[in-house]
């Protein structure tokens, strides 16, 4: 899609498309593949966490972590086992969720300030189609209280103040509940690998506030229109600070040791003592396990809150007619390959959970409780919601509805997912492609290549780029990358070869420079 076409797509165009689609769907009598009984548009519950690895769910095969309520969503829906965040840091990942676009097309190639407005955004699209839209928790937008089509938001921004005088709704509530206490009293930083049990009463923790606020919304909801409810937890992103009972749920010795590739020595060195917010370094197995214990406890705390949300849906008789998606903006390396935090192409950073549960009336019950291997990405969330709500999916959207494979739709799926991240902690700007089996990574600063066979080596411990037996596979994926870059011009491909890029490129030419008018 050209930039001109993207800019010219307005909400007026969207409403026209919706009206036309609704009429066609009525005539067709549900020919789009949904059960004919699914005449009532569903509520949409949009659950997400921050910095949550793909493998930290029981339903993902993790035998240590305790996530019974998230597992129940998987049992009543599907797990997508090859789910990714294309640009695995907070703001750019949230741009994909907002727009349904790939990194080059939404314009954010790394961590920066999100665009003030895109011409087509998820909450406004659902609102224009008659949904009541509300967001709770971490949005990580700019300005921080911009609603982007939500009828309202109640935000927790993890202490972040991006505009003068901003105070999050969580911190206002905290001040009312505990005027003499400090919400940051636990004393662990936002990007620290350190772990500490939450020192304040559990009910004051932001995870509890987010869950309680969502439960209250559902309990009191009395509108005739269906809702889109986004519930966005700020954890398990550090600080790893679960309340005592969740910390004590796990033993440090039970945590898995980090995996370390035969290529990862370049990241092992670290200044001693290691800065709390270090992005790399061999901090030892004991530290990695300690960090994971706090991380697991934070996830189980979130799981309990999600259990309360699901219980209230069932109490109100809403559960059967609610579409649920659970995902995260990106993962957390937790010491794998001597790396910490995110922004990397590796599974710990770019691999995310993706659970989809659809309403009872949609049918396809034989699919419930199964695992799907199609490669999916955050760009697929928006079209999934449009599809479930019986709204036409605009042609400019890069994502695809994840309901399609559930229905047995035989149309072509993503051949691969493209991933990238601009220079952040170091000079690496990576570009990557994965089809869920192989992952090819190209580093533009120095031309390094990595190739992993995820079926044979899910921990990405062996770089096959230097293996003569894998030369044909490497050439195939290099050529795929060259073809993928074709639209970007000579800065990326010259004379049929991948170029070196020494300067940081944070935004693509398609990034909206100014707020779009409605």
Written as tens digits, the pLDDT of the chain (518 aa) is 333 222 333 333 333 333 333 333 332 233 333 443 345 899 999 999 999 999 999 999 999 999 999 999 999 999 999 999 999 999 999 999 999 999 999 999 999 999 989 999 999 999 999 999 999 999 888 777 888 899 999 999 888 888 888 899 999 999 999 999 999 999 999 999 999 999 999 999 999 999 999 999 999 999 999 999 999 999 999 999 999 999 999 999 999 999 999 999 999 999 889 999 999 999 999 999 999 999 999 999 999 999 999 999 999 999 999 999 999 999 999 999 999 999 999 999 999 999 999 999 999 999 999 999 999 999 999 999 999 999 999 999 999 999 999 999 999 999 999 999 999 999 999 999 999 999 999 999 999 999 999 999 999 999 999 999 999 999 999 999 999 999 999 999 999 999 999 999 999 999 997 644 33
**What residues contact residue 265 under an 8 Å CB cut-off, 6+ apart?**
338
What pairing do the DSSP bridges indicate for beta strands 43-50 and 227-236? Answer: parallel
Task: Round to whole Å and give the CA distance between 100 and 124.
Answer: 13
Task: Round to whole Å and give the CA distance between 512 and 325.
Answer: 28
Residue 223, pLDDT score = 97
Residue 144, pLDDT score = 77
Task: Round to whole Å and give the CA distance between 206 and 201.
Answer: 11
H helices present in 29-64, as ranges: none
The conformation of residue 319, written as its DSSP 8-state character, comes to: G
Angle subtended by helix axes 90-99 and 381-388, to nearest 10: 30
Residue 359, pLDDT score = 98
Q: In 3D, which of 301, 248, 228, 282 has the Cα closest to residue 52? A: 301
Task: Round to whole Å and give the CA distance between 377 and 99.
Answer: 12
SS3 137: strand
Q: Is 238 in contact with 298 (CB distance < 8 Å)?
A: no
Catalytic positions, please? Answer: 90, 140
Residue 12, pLDDT score = 34
The dihedral sign for the CA sequence 32, 34, 36, 37 = negative
Residue whose pair of structure tokens reads 């709204």 in the numeric block: 391
Task: Round to whole Å and give the CA distance between 133 and 136.
Answer: 10
- pTM equals 0.91
CA distances from 402 to 103, 329, 408 (A): 19, 17, 11
Give the domain 421-498 fold: Arylsulfatase, C-terminal domain (3.30.1120)
180 burial type by CB count under 10 A (0-12 exposed, 13-18 middle, 19+ buried)? exposed
Residue 88, pLDDT score = 97
Q: Is 254 in contact with 64 (CB distance < 8 Å)?
A: yes
SS3 517: coil
What pairing do the DSSP bridges indicate for beta strands 354-357 and 322-328? Answer: antiparallel
Residue 16, pLDDT score = 35
Does the 3-415 domain belong in CATH 3.40.50.720?
Answer: no
Tokens of 399: 């994502």
Residue 165, pLDDT score = 85
Tokens of 440: 């090819």
Q: Is 456 in contact with 444 (CB distance < 8 Å)?
A: no
Q: Is 381 in contact with 323 (CB distance < 8 Å)?
A: no
Tokens of 90: 């907070």
Residue 357 bridge partners (DSSP): 324
Residue 135 bridge partners (DSSP): 153, 230
Q: How many CB atoms lie within 10 A of CB 198?
A: 25
Q: Is 390 in contact with 21 (CB distance < 8 Å)?
A: yes
Task: Round to whole Å and give the CA distance between 45 and 126.
Answer: 13
Residue whose pair of structure tokens reads 């030892």 in the numeric block: 284
End-to-end CA distance of the chain: 21
199 burial type by CB count under 10 A (0-12 exposed, 13-18 middle, 19+ buried)? middle
Residue whose pair of structure tokens reads 């070869």 in the numeric block: 497
Domain boundaries, the chain: 3-415, 421-498
């Amino acid at each position: 899609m050209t930039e001109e076409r993207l800019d010219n797509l307005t909400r007026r165009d969207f409403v026209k498309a919706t009206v036309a689609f609704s009429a066609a769907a009525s005539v067709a009598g549900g020919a789009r593949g949904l059960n004919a009984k699914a005449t009532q548009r569903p509520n949409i519950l949009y659950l997400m966490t921050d910095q949550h690895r793909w493998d930290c769910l029981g339903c993902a095969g993790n035998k240590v972590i305790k996530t019974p309520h998230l597992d129940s969503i998987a049992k009543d829906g599907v797990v997508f086992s090859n789910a990714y965040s294309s640009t695995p840091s907070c703001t750019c990942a949230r741009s994909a969720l907002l727009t349904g676009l790939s990194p080059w097309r939404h314009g954010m190639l790394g961590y920066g300030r999100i665009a003030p407005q895109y011409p087509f955004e998820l909450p406004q699209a659902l609102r224009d189609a008659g949904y009541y839209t509300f967001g709770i928790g971490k949005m990580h937008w700019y300005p921080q209280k911009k609603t982007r089509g939500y009828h309202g938001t109640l935000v927790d921004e993890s202490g972040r103040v991006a505009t003068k005088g901003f105070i999050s709704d969580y911190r206002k509530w905290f001040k009312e509940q505990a005027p003499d206490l400090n919400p940051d009293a636990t004393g662990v930083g936002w990007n620290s690998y350190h772990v500490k049990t939450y020192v304040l009463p559990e009910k004051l923790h932001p995870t509890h506030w987010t869950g309680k606020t969502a439960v209250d919304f559902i309990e009191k909801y009395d509108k005739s229109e269906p809702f889109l409810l986004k519930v966005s937890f700020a954890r398990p992103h550090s600080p790893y600070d679960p309340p005592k009972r969740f910390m004590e749920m796990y033993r440090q010795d039970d945590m898995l040791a980090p995996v370390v590739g035969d290529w990862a020595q370049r990241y092992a060195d670290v200044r001693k003592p290691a800065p709390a917010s270090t992005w790399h370094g061999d901090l030892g197995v004991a530290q990695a396990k300690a960090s994971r214990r706090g991380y697991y406890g934070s996830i189980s705390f979130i799981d309990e809150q999600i259990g309360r949300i699901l219980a209230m849906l069932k109490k109100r008789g809403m559960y059967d007619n609610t579409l649920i998606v659970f995902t995260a903006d990106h993962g957390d390396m937790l010491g794998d390959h001597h790396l910490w935090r995110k922004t990397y192409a590796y599974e710990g950073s770019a691999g995310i959970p993706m659970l989809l549960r659809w309403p009872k009336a949609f049918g396809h019950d034989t699919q419930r409780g199964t695992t799907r291997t199609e490669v999916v990405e955050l760009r697929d969330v928006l079209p999934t919601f449009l599809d479930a709500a019986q709204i036409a999916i605009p042609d400019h959207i890069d994502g695809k509805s994840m309901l399609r494979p559930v229905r047995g739709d035989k149309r072509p799926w993503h051949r691969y997912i493209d991933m990238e991240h601009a220079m952040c902690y170091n000079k690496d700007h990576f570009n990557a492609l994965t089809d869920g089996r192989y992952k090819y990574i190209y580093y533009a600063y120095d031309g390094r290549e990595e190739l992993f066979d995820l079926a044979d080596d899910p921990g990405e411990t062996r770089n096959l780029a230097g293996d003569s037996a894998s030369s044909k596979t490497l050439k195939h994926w290099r050529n795929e990358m060259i073809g993928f870059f074709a639209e970007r011009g000579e800065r990326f491909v010259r004379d049929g070869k991948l170029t070196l890029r020494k300067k940081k490129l944070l935004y693509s030419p398609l990034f909206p420079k100014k707020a779009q008018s409605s």
